[in-house]
Amino acid sequence: MIISIAFMKPNVPTTENSDDPGGKPIGDLAVYIFNAVEDEWSFISSVSHDKVRLEYIEDAESATDCFFLAQATESNFCYISPKDISPEYIRYAQNLMKFKDGEVIVPQMRSHLICEDLVRDAKAFMMLVSKAKGYKRIVLTAYATTPNLYILKAKLEEVGLTVYLPESPDIDSAWTVNFFGSKSGIRQLAQMSQIKEPDFIMPDGLICVGRFDAAKIAAHRYQKNHGVVIKTNKGSGGAGVLIFREGELPANYQACELAILKAMNSDRYWDEYPIIIEDLVNINYAFAGGFPNVEFKISKSGRIDMLYVCACKVTPKGRFYGLDISNDIINDRQQTTMEDMGYFIAEQYAAAGYRGHFDVDMIAAKNGKLYVCESNTRNTGGTDTFKIVEKLIGPDFMDDAYTVSRSLHDWLIPHKYTFTDIAGNVEPIAYSPRTKEGVIINSSNSLDDGKIIYTIIAKNKRRAYELNILFKHLLETNCQLSPKRAAGETD
């Protein structure tokens, strides 16, 4: 099958909110393209080992269901996916979100640059064009704004379609995506902003080029501070980060340098991109679990909206595996500090021309300081959860609910369980629109990788964590779990 399509009703554009008695096609077609691998391609393509590179690709592409579910909050939409989405999961999404007309198009060209793949796959491209011609314009959004997205926009315009990119910068400001979204870019912004916003600080560190110099600098910092963090300029979900704590490296300087160099020798991205070396922060886990985060959206007009604050869940090795969203995560003073810093950064982004979603990852330190860690200028690990919870609970979801989102790696035996199996096993605690509480399964594709992605919505933290424990208990009781469950994914 060349194109995977799921029609929830006949493919006829809606005329809702129309004064046209003839029922002519009118309105916008919401099109979302899940281009996570495309966004991370500079990093992924520089991973030296074929097996590891493929694992990164599979892990990223398997999250497509998550953003399909988020896009299903729209009434009528078209979703461009790198992978098929099972009919069972599409029915699940429709029952949950009550959308009217949803269609999935999967380009069969497989360069992993999905915008280009869509253009090159004539059948997939024409399927989108045929659907869009019934509407006034395409409102095109994506996981990330990439150069390829602008190419796709131009190709659609060449065939006579009107295309609007509400969550992307104008082409002359497209540089802001990679600049502010890189480890070096946000660090430069922090240095430039010291006078205007003295609270906007990052862990002490520097930027260098080349793994040999990086190993020397990192070894020196490790000897001095008993810990060090090394980051490539733009990694992926914790990949491209090395964290060394006290006792994990040799005490001798030269041996320490060689050990760091050995850890960096496995991938060529350490030589291809700038390297950031930072002091290891002594984390205050009492402050939002140590890793608070805030997400914003800058509209096309430049308006800044704060979407939510959350506590990120991160393993000791730096891998992100979930978040908690609620106004109860931190106290008012702490939240004000986070929001003020976030708004300042948002104002700098907006002034430079950036548009769309972004977040600010922070680290709470035991010295009382709140450090900015990085900024992701794209949809994030919480954007899909935010859209789902806002749809189900309403705009006051931060006050009215406590949300837990988790991605548990290697919990299941790969390819052993279908979505129907897992949904059936946890059915007693499935989300109920009546009680506005329960578990949502966010992905079917991820089950093939042994990974389970889910969201819990409850009235408060205590109840959310009770449901989380019960969810894991149901998995342990009804499923054969993997013996190599990922370490550090504890709560």
pLDDT digits (tens, 9 = 90+) for 55-72: 999 999 999 999 999 999
Q: What is the pLDDT of residues 30-58, one digit of tens each?
A: 999 999 999 999 999 998 889 989 999 99
**pLDDT tens for residues 405-448?**
999 988 898 889 999 999 999 999 999 999 999 999 999 999 99
Helix (H, G, I), strand (E, B) or coil at 271: helix
Give the class (CATH, top level) of 288-478: alpha beta
Distance of CA 246 to the CA centre of its chain: 31
Look at the block and give the residue holding tokens 């019934």.
Answer: 134
Q: Tell me, what's the pLDDT at 267? A: 85
In 415-440, which positions are buried (b, 16+ CB within 10 angstroms) versus exposed (e)? eebebeebbeebeebebeeeebbbbb
Q: What whole-number distance in Å separates Cα of residue 43 and Cα of residue 114? A: 16
- Looking at residue 75, what is its pLDDT? 87
Tokens of 407: 């991605």
Residue of 312, 404, 402 lying closest to 360 (CA atoms): 312
pLDDT tens digits, 219-260: 999 999 999 999 999 887 778 999 999 999 999 999 999 999
Question: 36: which 2 tokens?
Answer: 């996570």
Residue 488 — pLDDT band, cuts 50, 70, 90?
low
Model pLDDT, residue 430: 98
For residue 9, the model assigns a pLDDT of 43
Residues 6+ apart with CB under 8 A from 74: 30, 99
Kind of pairing between the strands at 239-244 and 76-80: unpaired
Alpha carbons 324 and 465: distance in angstroms, whole number: 10
What per-residue confidence (pLDDT) applies to 483? 78
Nearest by Cα to 133 from 24, 33, 35:
24
Q: Does residue 26 surpass a pLDDT of 80?
A: no
CATH superfamily of 204-279: ATP-grasp fold, A domain (3.30.1490.20)
Residue 166, both tokens? 């509400």
Dihedral sign for Cα 447, 452, 453, 459, please.
positive
> How many Å apart are CA 252 and CA 34, to the nearest integer?
47
Cβ burial, residue 210 (10 Å; 0-12/13-18/19+): middle
pLDDT at 25: 53
Residue 21 has pLDDT above 50, yes or no: no
- 270-328 pLDDT, tens digit per residue, is 999 999 999 999 999 999 999 999 999 999 999 999 999 999 999 888 889 999 999 99
Domains of the chain, by residue range, sit at 28-168, 204-279, 288-478
Q: Residue 429: what residue type?
A: I
**pTM reported for the whole predicted model:** 0.92
* Rounded CA separation 117/21 (Å): 39
Question: How far, in Å, CA of 147 to CA of 144, rounded?
Answer: 10
- State phi, psi for 68 to the nearest 5 degrees: -65, -45
| Residue 129 backbone zone (phi > 0: left; psi -120 to 50: alpha; other: beta) | alpha
Q: Phi and psi for 419 in degrees, rounded to 5?
A: -60, -40
Distance CA 66, CA 389 (A): 13
Mean pLDDT of the chain: 92
Q: What is the pLDDT of residues 461-484, one digit of tens each?
A: 999 999 999 999 999 998 888 877
Tokens of 390: 């806002």
Q: What is the pLDDT of residue 329?
A: 93
Q: Which residues of 304-333 are buried (b: 16+ CB within 10 A; e: fewer)?
A: eeebbbbbbbbbeebbbbbbbbbbebbeee
**By C-alpha distance, which of 94, 105, 102 is closest to 77?**
102
Residue-level pLDDT at 1: 39
Q: What letter represents residue 352's amino acid?
A: A
* Rounded Cα distance, 15 and 13, in Å: 7
In the structure, what pLDDT confidence band is assigned to residue 453 with cuts at 50, 70 and 90? very high
Structure tokens at 83: 């992978």
Q: Residue 325's closest CA among 389, 383, 394, 404?
A: 404
136 pLDDT exceeds 60? yes
pLDDT tens string 184-210 = 999 999 999 999 999 999 999 999 999
From residue 305, alpha-carbon distances to 44, 294, 299, 301 in Å are 31, 11, 8, 12
